[in-house]
Every structure is written in structure tokens, then in C-alpha cells.
Structure 1
Amino acid sequence: MHFSVVIPAYNEASTIREIAIAALTYTPHVVVIDDGSSDNTAQLVQDLDIILIKHEQNKGKAAALASGIHASLELGVDAVITLDADGQHKTVDIGRFVETAQQFPDEIIIGSRLWDKHAFPRKRYLANKFANFWISWAAGRAVDDSQSGFRLYPTTLLQKLNISINRNKGFVLESEIIIHAAHLGYPCRSIQIDAIYHTDARPSHFRSVTDILFITRMVAGQLLLRGLYPAGLYRYLIHPHLKKTRIYQTGIIGLLVFLLSIIIMLATGLLTLLLLFSRNIILARSPCQSAQAGKLLVLGRRLRSGQPDHDYQQRLLRACHLLKSSADMEVLIVGGFTDGSVLSESAAGKQFLEQQGISTSRIQIEEGSTHTLENFRLIYKTLLNTTEPVTLITSRYHLGRSHDIANGFAIKHTLCGAEDYFIFNLPNLVHLFSEAFFLHWYWTAKFIGKLTRSQFILQRISNPTD
């Protein structure tokens, strides 16, 4: 694959030369745009075998990217990689971008940094998550890190885009490209990269509040043009979760129950949904109640680059703490193969616990389930003859739904939140709302199953003899 690397730079004298030289080891087509710098950014790279574009005055990141992309298209490359000039992106990741693009040539590849929220400044993290929601809605597809400047664009997409450029575009352009690309049939695919923040780095040009407001205004305009684009909200927020559920896989019956659940929500003025949401908050704040002996039950999560993500690690660390506090305890980790991973969720969890010093003999795994409902169906079969309650460990926002489904399968349990306490922030509240939505669907299915005495439904969502 022939590709260029575009590096917009504004007063980046301390880092630009090192980054440009590193990029040249991957491609001869490196384009640096000096966007009206007041330092010697341009002079530091003018002797390198690169394309150097100089703006006489600072025009903003959007204009710099546009200049670099235009120059790249004239080179006839297959793809354009953009990265920031401040040293926050590792050029060694360029090879991973290219490898991913070769597998998915008609997709935008984005380097996602939000997988480890503790490595991210809290204000920036929350601002990015806020932007992700609106951009994902407008695009109709989930976008993991909409504000990452480390990207790969296929040139077939860039040739089709018709987006105006002005000084106020700034950081808005990259978000706008995602939305237009999705409507042209070019989705985004994320690869995990590190979030790097040097203590001696110059202040970021990204203004968390101001630029997010500009981005939100742009997205609002896009949504209004499409009548608020309800189909996009469904595709982003609801459809991916439906695909993970067994009810979805039951076909027309599951979908009819889903529609009935929506009707009940609307008919009650969302009261039933809000009641479940409130109850989820109460359970999320409940103290950890673990048995002194017996079995721990850890619910797996989808892996990130083959490894447990932060929330999954929190669950495993809670289990590790309890296992070390009692030699009589054992743990069952549930979770199969998801998202094409060669390692199951439970196997990855087992490896993590072994690295924490937990003996293999105390760890049992279940690899046949791929979502919460299926987790508990197989747990019920595994623990069929168990009389003692198990300690159910999961993220605090997930306790409510897990508790009700465990009760549905008549699994004796106590609840133990993975985190020490529940934090009221936007991501957790979104999680709680999503959990309430799917819990509403679960209770609707259970009610219909019992009302109609449908073993077809009940056997899939509960212990029908309960």
C-alpha cells in the first residue's frame, strides 16, 4: 500500500524534526504543513526529503490538514495518514495502521486512546466521551475516539468529500469527515494506541470546552438536516446491543417483544424505564457483600486488543482481593469468544489473575457464552447442584441487570461491585440508562412469557420452573 503521512504543525520546534524523520522510515511521502508558526518549525525540517508547505499566517488545523491532503492526492497514494506534531503519537504505530487498512481498505482507521481513562486528563476524557456520543449519533455508527488526530483515510473517500474549509473549522473538520464518510459508506475502525502526555509539552491547541461546543454545533446542524436522524441513533446506541442478545437471535418473537417494551415505555411516559434506572442507581451504590467461602463469579467483558479493558480489570482485581483474603475461595470466570478474538474473555481473565499470583487450580472458566443473558444460562447449568450462594462480581453500573437475571435463573448470589464505590459521571450514567433499557426489555419478555406460558421465551431468559 502506498501512503503519505501528513503532519500539521504550529509552533512545534521541539518535536517536529524527530517526528518527520521517524515518519520517513515508513514512507518517502511525508508532508509537513507549517501553519504560520512564530518559531523555527519550518527551518528545522526544510533540509529533509519531505514536502514542506508553509502558510504565511495561522489558518487553523482544518486548513493545514486540507493543504496536506491535497498535496497527498497529487502524489497518487492509496491512503493518507495524519498525525499530530506534538509527540503525542508514536510513529511506530504507523505499521499497525497500514496492516489494518490492508484488511479493511474502505474504512477510516482511528487510533483510539480512551481505552485507558486513567492515562487521560479527566477533563479531556469527559469532553471526548461527550463528543463521541453526538458524532456517533450523526454518523449512525459507534466512534471510539472521535478527537484522535492519528488516522488513516483511504484516498477513495478523500476524493469524494466536499467539505468547506474556514478558520473556524479548527478541530471540527476531523469530526465532520467522520460523519460524511459514514453516509458515503466508509465506517470507522479503531485500533488501540497509547495516550501520551509529556509534562514539559506546550499547552494543547485543543480547547476542551470551546472546541467541543463548535463540534456540537456542527453535529446539531447535521442532525437537524436529517430530521434528528433517529435511524442513526438506533444504529449507534441500540442495534449493536441487540445483536449481542439472545432475544435478538430468537427472530421475530424477540423483536416483537422489543417493540412492545418500547410501547410500554412510551405509554407510561418513560416512568417504567425511570423506575428501573433509579433502582439501578440504588444497587450500583450498594456495598460489596461477599461470602466468607465458596465460589466467586466474575462476568467477563469484550476484550480490547486481546486484553481485559479497564472495567474488566476492575472486576478481576476485586476477585483477586477476595481470593487472597480466603484460601477456601474459588472463582468462575464466564465469557466466550467475541469480536473475532482468538482468546476468550474468560481465558484472558484467567491469565490476568495468574499474573496477580492466583493459583490456576482456583480458577475455572466458561467459554461458551457471549453476552449477559447467555452468561447466566450457562452459569445456571454449571451451578445446578450448588446450594451455597455465589458472590457475583461485576461493574457497579451492571449490578442491577445482573441481579435480576441471576434471580430469573434462580441462582443464589450476593452482589459485589468491582469498584470501591459508584462515581456519578456521564459515562456511568449512560451505562446505567442503557442497562435500564435492556432490563426493561428483559422484564417485558419475562412478563409475556409467563402470561402466554411460552416455554420458548422462558427457557431463553430464565429458569421456567421458577
Structure 2
Amino acid sequence: MPRVHPDAFFWPSMHKPCAVIPVYNHEHALVHVVEALRIAKLPCILVNDASSPACTAVIETLASQPDCYAVHLLHNQGKGGAVMAGLREAQLLGFTHALQVDADGQHNLNDIAAFLQRSREHPLAVICGYPEYDASVPRGRLYARYLTHVWVWINSLSLQIRDSMCGFRVYPLASTVSLINRVKLGRRMDFDPEILVRMAWQNQPMEWLPTQVHYPLDGLSHFRLVHDNLLISKMHAKLFFGMLLRAPKIICSRGRR
């Protein structure tokens, strides 16, 4: 008997996407990001990660528009913490999928339609951006990515994760929120790679699309080269030992597919 792919049971009418944008003092670029998302007719959830009063005022003004919502965090949670708060809010508002978008303008929003179309075609999959960089990418961050790629392949026992650092993704909310409610994930720049590794452990389908990345529109980056690379290294070490414990189960489950 032929095997029926689980996506076949997901009706197109159940695909109700939104955008989740973690915001920390990117008020100038944020206006342009939200404008592009509204042109794409994508509802927006802005997660104010304890930004300055000036940025908070911009967020509140944007959230007064139709299909634009604000979540205000009293204390700075970091990018991962803000994204998780936004994903939970998206599910509470009745959305089924969420496009994660950075507020600093580095993501190519011309790719929104392609990412959402792939998500409609594969609604159970995480649609992940595979970055194509221009000359604006900081050299230190670019080189560190290659080391992260190797550790991600080791910790996931797979080569399927082409890039774990690009945050331009469409998450299926049911499986994603279940994971973030069940597991303590990194709350800062370690979030993006860790969640993909843990999804790989549970055989979450993933689809990959190339996307151009530019750093950044307003010249403000919150990536701390030493601190965040140490944080990511700690995350890789934690995942490595987690992988060792799960390896037999992971290998067995993939052998049955």
C-alpha cells in the first residue's frame, strides 16, 4: 500500500499565516519592514523586547493599524525569548503558521510570497531560509557560521540543516509551540540553531529556499561577537551530550522512514 504523506491531511483553508517580528530598538528600519509585510497582506505581531521609549512609541503606532498586534515584554528576553513570545501569541490569535522576520531590515522581504507558497505546499514543514550574503556581512559572523554548520550537522546526526543561523523562516505553530513549551531553549542568538537541531531530533520536515541577506538597514546590530559566540558554543556542547543520549532513538526512527 502506498504511504500517504501527512501533508495530504492539511486542508489549504487551515493555512493562516502571520509574521512575528522581535524588536529591540530598531524603530527606523521597523517601519519599512512592517510596510512591506502589510503590502504582502501578512498580519504582523511585533514583540517589543523592552525597547527604548522612542522605539516603543513607534511599535504602538504601528500596532494601531489593522492586522498589526503588539506584545510588550517588561524585561529584555533576547531575540529567542522575543520570538517564542511572538509564536505563542500567534497561536493564541488563531494563526497556524508564522514567518519569523528580523526588525533590522536584513531579510529580503521580496521572498515572502515564495516562502508562504512553499509553506502552503508543505504545511507541516519548517520553511527555512538559506542565506546568500552580499558584501555587507561582517566577516567575523560569516566565519563563525561555518563552525556552527559543522556542529549542527554533528548534533542533528544529519546534513539536512543547510543553515541554522538565518532567522527568516516559516514555522508551523502547532509543532513549534509544543516544542518551545516542552523544552527550555536558548533565549538569545542561540535560539535559531538550537530549535532546528531539536526539530531534527523529532524528524520535523524542513524545506529550504535561498534568500538574500543584507546587514543591516539602520546600522544597528545586537550580535555581540564574543559573548554570543560563547553562548552559541555552550549551546552546541549541551546539544552534543543531548544527541549522545538520543542517538539510538534518532537513528532507529530514521531507519523506519
Give the TM bin, normalised by the shorter chain: 0.7 to 0.9
1:211 aligned residue: 228
Q: Is the 8 A contact 2:104 2:217 kept in 1?
A: no
Once the two structures are superposed, residues 297-347 of structure 1 have per-residue CA deviations (whole angstroms, 9 ceiling, x without a partner) of: xxxxxxxxxxxxxxxxxxxxxxxxxxxxxxxxxxxxxxxxxxxxxxxxxxx
Hey, what's the Cα distance between the residues in 2 that align with 1:187 and 1:208? 31
8 Å contact kept, 1:138–1:179: yes
Equivalent residue of 1:153, what SS? strand
TM normalised by structure 1 equals 0.46
Unpaired runs of 5+ residues, structure 1, are 235-466
Cα distance in 2 between the residues matched to 1:214 and 1:87:
24
Taking structure 1 as reference, are residues 196 and 139 closer, same or farther at Cα in structure 2, changes over 3 Å only?
Answer: same
Secondary structure at the residue paired with 1:97?
helix
**Partner of 1:134 in structure 2?**
151
Kept after mapping to 1: 8 A contact 2:106/2:217: no
The reply on whether 1:12 has 2:32 as its aligned counterpart is no
SS class of match (1:31): strand
Alignment correspondent of 2:3: none
In structure 1, the residue corresponding to 2:162 is in which secondary structure?
coil
Structure 1 residue 122 and structure 2 residue 142: aligned? no
**Bigger relative contact order (CA 8 A; separation at least 6):** 2
Q: Does 1:178 align with 2:196?
A: yes
Q: Is the 8 A contact 2:107 2:214 kept in 1?
A: yes
Residue 72 of structure 1 pairs with residue 90 of structure 2: yes
Determine the structure 2 residue equivalent to 1:224: 241
Note if contact 1:109-1:151 (Cα within 8 Å) is conserved in structure 2.
yes
**Contact persistence 1:110–1:190 (CA under 8 A):** yes
Alpha-carbon offset, residue 229 of structure 1: 6.8
Q: Does 1:163 align with 2:180?
A: no
TM-score, scaled relative to structure 2: 0.80
Is contact 2:104–2:218 with CA below 8 Å preserved after alignment? no
Change (3 A) 1:197 1:226: closer
- Alignment correspondent of 2:36: 22
Residue-by-residue CA offset, 1:397-433 (whole Å, 9 max, x unaligned): xxxxxxxxxxxxxxxxxxxxxxxxxxxxxxxxxxxxx
Report how many residues are paired: 230
Which of these two proteins has the greater Rg computed from alpha carbons? 1
Between the aligned partners of 1:104 and 1:28, the Cα distance in structure 2 is 18
Q: Secondary structure at the match of 2:45?
A: strand
* CA-CA distance at 1:84 after TM superposition: 0.3
Q: Is the contact between residue 134 and residue 214 of structure 2 (CA under 8 Å) also seen in structure 1? A: no
RMSD: 2.5
Q: In the aligned structure 2, how far is the partner of 1:101 from the partner of 1:199?
A: 27
Correspondence for 2:48: 34
Relative to structure 1, the CA distance from residue 137 to residue 215 in structure 2 (aligned partners, 3 Å threshold; closer, same or farther) is: same
Report the Cα offset of residue 171 of structure 1. Answer: 1.4
The CA deviation at 1:28 is: 4.8
Residue 2 of structure 1 corresponds to 16
